[in-house]
C-alpha cells in the first residue's frame, strides 16, 4: 500500500493494485455546505454516500478490462472515499483506490476531473432536482427542464455557439476493425470542426473521441469538446474514457437519452448490441412523432466493410416492427468515413437554419417533442419485463417505447449490478407478446450473441427468454 498526494510528486510506484490518496478539487467545488457534506457521508437508507462511493470507484477504474459491475465492486470492496474539511475548502481522502488511476503518485488529471464531476452532479441532482423539483418531474416539460439544468450546471450548454455536436452511439464490445473505423469517422469529423458526444465508455464511445482529437489538433482547434453522458447504473460497466473532457452524470437512462438528443445536433450510430438498439429505438420513436417531422435531425448508421449484415438486420427489425416510415429517419453509409462527416456537416447547416428560423436555442433542442412514455423511468424486474405490451396493434411510437424498455432490461441483465442480481436470483427475464413481433426481436438478439456484442468480458449467458 502506498500513499499518493496529488500535489506532491512521489517516487516509483510499488507493485500493488491499491492506493491511498488525498485529492484536491479541480473545479468550482472547493466549498461544500455542512448539509451537502452530511448528505454524502450519510450511509443510512436514503443517504447519498453509497451512490457516491460506487460512482467514484467506477470513474477511478477507467480503462479496466471488465464490464462486470459486480467484479469491480467485489475487487475493491474495501474502497472508501471521505471528505476532509479544510480552511480553504475540501479534499477527498481515498482508501484502497485502484492504482491504475495514478502515475508516479499523482492522480491522472482527467480522472481527477471526472471524480469531482461525480461529486458535483450527485449533489446537484439530489439537492436541486429531486428535493426542490420533485413535483415538476411528473410532467414532460418538468423532466426536460431538469435535464437542461443538470447539463447547464455541468457547463455543457455553451452560449452563442453554432450547432456542431455529433452524438456517437455504438457498442462497448466491438472488434478491432470496427474500433479503428470509429476513430477514422471521428477524425473526419474533427477535420471539419465538429465536436463529439458519446456515452463516454470504451469501444465505439472512445474511438470517435480519439479520432476527433487528432483531427482537431491538425486544424489547430484547441477547444475541442469530447462530451460524455452517463448514469449511475451503467457507469461501472462503461466508465468514462480518458479522452472525455466534459462529463455529466444524469439520474437515469431516460434522462441520459434525453440529454443526448437535446444536446446533440446529429447522431452517428456504429455497430453495437442491446444498448445501441435501445438508443436507436428511443431515437426512432421520437422522430416518428408527427410533431417532430419539420425538424432536421441528421442520423447515420455506419460501420466498416463487412458490417452490411449488421445494419441490414437493424433496418429489417425497425421496418418489421415499426413500419416502413422508420426507414426515413436514418441513412446507412458503409465504409465511407468522409461521407459520414460530410452528411453530418450538411445536417448541421440545416439544423442551424431551422433553429434560427424557429427562434430555438442552438445549445439545447427545446422544440423536439419527446413522448412521456419515453421519459418515464423504467425499472427492469421480472414482473415489469413480462408485462411489456409487445403487440403489433400498438401505435408505432408506443411500440417503440415498449421495445426500448425491453432492450433496457436486457442491458440491465447483462452489465448492471441490480440486473445481474435479479438474474442470479430468479433466472432470465421473460418477454411476452405477439409471435410475429417476437420472432424478429429474437433473431436480432441472437445475432448480437453470435457476434459477441452483448458483453465485453466472460462468456455470455442470455439474461432473457422469448415466450411467444
Which CATH number do you get for residue 264?
Answer: 3.40.50.450
Distance CA 149, CA 144 (A): 9
Which pLDDT does position 8 carry in this prediction? Answer: 38
422 and 368 fall within a common domain: no
Domain match, 359 and 386 both = no
Q: HSE on the CB side for 209, CA within 13 Å?
A: 24
Query: What CATH number does the domain containing 20 carry?
Result: 3.30.1850.10
Q: Percent of the chain scored above 70 by pLDDT?
A: 88
**Cβ atoms of 268 and 146 closer than 8 Å:** no
Which residues neighbour 258 within 8 Å (Cβ) at sequence distance 6 or greater? 143, 144, 147, 370, 374, 375
277 and 390: one domain?
Answer: no
Sign of CA dihedral 290, 294, 297, 300: positive
Say whether pLDDT at 237 is over 60.
Answer: yes
- Provide the pLDDT for residue 453: 75
Q: Which helix (H) or strand (E) holds 431?
A: strand 429-432
pLDDT at 10 over 50: no
| Distance separating alpha carbons of residues 275 and 253, to the nearest angstrom | 10
Could you give the CA distance from residue 97 to residue 20 in angstroms, rounded to a whole number? Answer: 6
Domain finish residue from 114, 135, 169: 114
Share of the chain above pLDDT 90, in %: 45
Residues in the chain: 468
Mean pLDDT, residues 174-199 taken together: 96
pLDDT score at 28: 54
- Separation of alpha carbons 22 and 263, rounded Å: 34
Backbone angles phi, psi at 327, to 5 degrees: -65, -20
Q: Is the Cα torsion angle 356, 137, 69, 403 positive or negative in sign?
A: negative
Residues 262, 343 within the same domain: yes
C-alpha cell of residue 410: 436486457
Mean pLDDT of 120-138: 79
Model confidence at 447, pLDDT cuts 50, 70, 90, reads: confident
Residue 298 has pLDDT above 70, yes or no: yes
Residue 184 scores a pLDDT above 50: yes
Distance CA 245, CA 213 (A): 11
What pLDDT score was predicted for residue 249? 94
Instruction: Extract the C-alpha cell encoding 378.
Output: 423504467
Which segments within 270-346 are labelled E, that is strand?
Answer: 299-303, 331-334
Cell of 219: 486544424
Same domain assignment for residues 172 and 105: no
From the list 284, 277, 467, the residue with the least C-alpha distance to 385 is 467
Higher pLDDT, 433 or 33: 433
Q: What is the pLDDT of residues 336-390, one digit of tens each?
A: 999 999 999 999 999 999 999 999 999 999 999 998 889 988 899 999 999 998 8
Count of domains for the chain: 3
Whole-number average pLDDT of the chain: 86
Pair 197, 234 in one domain: yes
Domain match, 403 and 385 both: yes
Answer yes or no: is 433 within a domain. Answer: yes
Q: Which domain holds residue 382?
A: 376-467
Whether 335 and 382 map to the same domain: the answer is no
What is the separation of C-alpha 371 from the centre of its chain, rounded to a whole number of angstroms?
A: 20
The predicted structure's pLDDT at residue 9: 38
**Whose CA is closest to 163, among 301, 345, 366, 294?**
345
pLDDT in tens, 244-275: 999 999 999 999 999 999 999 999 999 988 88
pLDDT band at 455 (very low <50, low <70, confident <90, very high): low
Separation between Cα atoms, residue 225 and residue 222, nearest integer Å: 9
Residue 277 sits in the same domain as residue 421:
no
Q: Final residue of a domain: which of 372, 393, 409? A: 372
Residue at a domain's end among 372, 395, 419: 372
Question: Same domain for 269 and 176?
Answer: yes
Amino acid at each position: 500500500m502506498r500513499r499518493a498526494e496529488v500535489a506532491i510528486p512521489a517516487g516509483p510506484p510499488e507493485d500493488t493494485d491499491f492506493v491511498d490518496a488525498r485529492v484536491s478539487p479541480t473545479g468550482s467545488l472547493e466549498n461544500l455546505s455542512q448539509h451537502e457534506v452530511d448528505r454524502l457521508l450519510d450511509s443510512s437508507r436514503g443517504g447519498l454516500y453509497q451512490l457516491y462511493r460506487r460512482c467514484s470507484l467506477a470513474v477511478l477504474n477507467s480503462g479496466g478490462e471488465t464490464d462486470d459491475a459486480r467484479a469491480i465492486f467485489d475487487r475493491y470492496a474495501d474502497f472508501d472515499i471521505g471528505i476532509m474539511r479544510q480552511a480553504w475548502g475540501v479534499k477527498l481522502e481515498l482508501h484502497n483506490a485502484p492504482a491504475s488511476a495514478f502515475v508516479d503518485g499523482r492522480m491522472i488529471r482527467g480522472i481527477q476531473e471526472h471524480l469531482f464531476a461525480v461529486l458535483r452532479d450527485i449533489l446537484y441532482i439530489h439537492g436541486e432536482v429531486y428535493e426542490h423539483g420533485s413535483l415538476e418531474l411528473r410532467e414532460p416539460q418538468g423532466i426536460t427542464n431538469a435535464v437542461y439544468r443538470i447539463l447547464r450546471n455541468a457547463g455543457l450548454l455553451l452560449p452563442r455557439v453554432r450547432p456542431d455536436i455529433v452524438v456517437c452511439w455504438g457498442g462497448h464490445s466491438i472488434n478491432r476493425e470496427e474500433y479503428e473505423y470509429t476513430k477514422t469517422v471521428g477524425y473526419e469529423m474533427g477535420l471539419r470542426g465538429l465536436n463529439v458526444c458519446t456515452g463516454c465508455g470504451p469501444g465505439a464511445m472512445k474511438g470517435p473521441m480519439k479520432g476527433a482529437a487528432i483531427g482537431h489538433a491538425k486544424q489547430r482547434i484547441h477547444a475541442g469538446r469530447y462530451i460524455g453522458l452517463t448514469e449511475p447504473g451503467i457507469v461501472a460497466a462503461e466508465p468514462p474514457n480518458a479522452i472525455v473532457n466534459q462529463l455529466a452524470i444524469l439520474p437515469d437512462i431516460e434522462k441520459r437519452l434525453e440529454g443526448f438528443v437535446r444536446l446533440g445536433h446529429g447522431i452517428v450510430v456504429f455497430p453495437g448490441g442491446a444498448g445501441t438498439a435501445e438508443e436507436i429505438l428511443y431515437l426512432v420513436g421520437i422522430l416518428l412523432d408527427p410533431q417532430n417531422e419539420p425538424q432536421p435531425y441528421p442520423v447515420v448508421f455506419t460501420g466498416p466493410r463487412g458490417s452490411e449484415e449488421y445494419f441490414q438486420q437493424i433496418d429489417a427489425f425497425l421496418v418489421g416492427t415499426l413500419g416502413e416510415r422508420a426507414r426515413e429517419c436514418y441513412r446507412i453509409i458503409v465504409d465511407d468515413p468522409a461521407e459520414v462527416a460530410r452528411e453530418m456537416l450538411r445536417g448541421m447547416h440545416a439544423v442551424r437554419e431551422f433553429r434560427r428560423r424557429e427562434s430555438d436555442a442552438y445549445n439545447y433542442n427545446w422544440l423536439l417533442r419527446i413522448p412521456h412514455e419515453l421519459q418515464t423511468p423504467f425499472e427492469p424486474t421480472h414482473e415489469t419485463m413480462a408485462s411489456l405490451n409487445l403487440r403489433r396493434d400498438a401505435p408505432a411510437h408506443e411500440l417503440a417505447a415498449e421495445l426500448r424498455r425491453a432492450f433496457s432490461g436486457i442491458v440491465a441483465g447483462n452489465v448492471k449490478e441490480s440486473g445481474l442480481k435479479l438474474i442470479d436470483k430468479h433466472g432470465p427475464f421473460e418477454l411476452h407478446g405477439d409471435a410475429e413481433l417476437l420472432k424478429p426481436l429474437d433473431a436480432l438478439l441472437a445475432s448480437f450473441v453470435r457476434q459477441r456484442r452483448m458483453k465485453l468480458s466472460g462468456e455470455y449467458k442470455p439474461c432473457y427468454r422469448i415466450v411467444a
